[in-house]
Structure 1
Amino acid sequence: MNTIITIGRQFGSGGREIGELLAKNYGINCYDKELLSRAAKESGFCEEMIQNHDERPTNSFLYNLVMDTYSFGYNASSFVDMPISHKVFLAQFDTIKKIAEEGPCVIVGRCADYALSDFDNVLNIFIHADEESKIKRIKERFADVKTDDQARDMMNKKDKQRQSYYNYYSSKKWGRADSYDLSINSGILGIDGTVKFIMQYVEDYELLKK
């Protein structure tokens, strides 16, 4: 196993669980919330600050200003003037690259596919599912979500945040098939079946790379 797997996911699709199972089966690390702790440690930001800005969209006007600076390189003074949300993004961006340089792993969310676009051993996967499957999973996972409407509202809010965040910081479109190497409906095969399918895909990918 020499491949880095990034996972984008709809809320409730089981993307995090799929990532964890893939990592367990391969004997490698899976980074989801763990990435936030490491980014905080390496950047000097407090972990709470990074969590508060995790995969959340920011003001588009400020985004354009900062990304103009980021695209053409930035100096110390421009970094000081950046909104906190962009400093947090850059901290995560740098941490993702460092993690990938250490060897094969699974990274969930946080524009990891974009951060690792220069790496040649990365497979970018997007996990989605039908609404019924997602609602069922959300209600099972969150004890305070009692009704389908509550689950649907949570799902729509989280997905909107992730979409906005990804589309702000990435040059691609969140959830669109051509933004990824593989897009798979976990509602059809289930979690274990999806993991097996991805592992077969990775195996074939690595054979072709040899």
Structure 2
Amino acid sequence: MDNFVITIARQYGSGGRTIGEELAKKLGISYYDKDIIRMASEESGIHEQLFGRADENVSTKQRFFAKSGIYKGELIPPQSRDFTSDENLFNYQAKVIRQLAETESCVIIGRCANMILKDYSNVLRVFVYGDWDFRIREASKKLSGTTKDIEKFMQKDDKRKEDFCKRFMGVDWADMTKYNLCLDNGTLGYEKCVEEIESALEILKK
């Protein structure tokens, strides 16, 4: 294949972002996380700050929207009143993700990239997780506050990712059948996770 993409979905504190960064560096390919928001803003002409509304952030009301809002690939035209709707903000991020998959090798973190690219044969879809104690230890390296505060944040973040995927893709974010490779970083460790992804990538390339 001319190029390949590795998508990484992850629980907060699982180390998925760090694994993605180390993997991209080792393979000598691009790494995309929040860069996609900037790129979607440039593509659409919509101010970057507005994308915060669709950046894995779904309100209680939005959880109950009809399935008509689930991503189908169409962009809403500028003359429409819904041009800056959450759906269209997601649509533009999805467009950027598809363009990346078609033009270069890279690692993409989050944003339902595994489902947006579900029909692409050059994509390895990875989910990184860890047991609760491991995640708390890792999260405490970045977050301040008590253990209870950190646990509350992690629970909220898990729910946020779950709602985001259900809202825009109609799937369960933690459904392991939506991924090619699921890695317990708490057991394997960072180095081994990177090695496992590299091994799976070699199989994909054959």
Q: Same fold (TM over 0.5)?
A: yes
Cα deviation, residue 78, structure 1:
8.9
- C-alpha distance 43-4 of structure 1, shift in aligned 2 (>3 A): same
Task: Describe the superposition over 1:15-72 as per-residue Cα deviations: whole angstroms up to 9, x where unpaired.
Answer: 11111111111110011011111111111121111134301125144453434xx649
* Cα RMSD, aligned residues only: 2.2
- C-alpha distance 138-75 of structure 1, shift in aligned 2 (>3 A): closer
* Seq. identity, %: 33
Q: 8 Å contact 2:76–2:88 — kept in the other structure?
A: no
Counterpart position of 2:112: 111
State the number of aligned residues: 203
Counterpart position of 2:50: 49
SS of alignment partner, residue 141 of structure 1: coil
Counterpart position of 1:127: 128
Cα deviation, residue 139, structure 1:
0.9
Counterpart position of 1:36: 37
In 2, distance between residues paired with 1:72 and 1:115? 9
TM-score, length basis structure 2: 0.89
**Higher mean C-alpha displacement, 155-164 vs 189-198:** 189-198
Counterpart position of 2:137: 136
In 2, distance between residues paired with 1:72 and 1:94? 8
In 2, distance between residues paired with 1:62 and 1:26? 41
SS of alignment partner, residue 115 of structure 2: helix
Task: Describe the superposition over 1:118-155 as per-residue Cα deviations: whole angstroms up to 9, x where unpaired.
Answer: 2111110100001111111111012xx23211111111
TM-score, length basis structure 1: 0.87
Counterpart position of 2:26: 25
Task: Describe the superposition over 1:51-96 as per-residue Cα deviations: whole angstroms up to 9, x where unpaired.
Answer: 34301125144453434xx649676489533662112111101111
| Residue 180, structure 1, aligned to residue 179, structure 2 | yes
Counterpart position of 1:7: 8
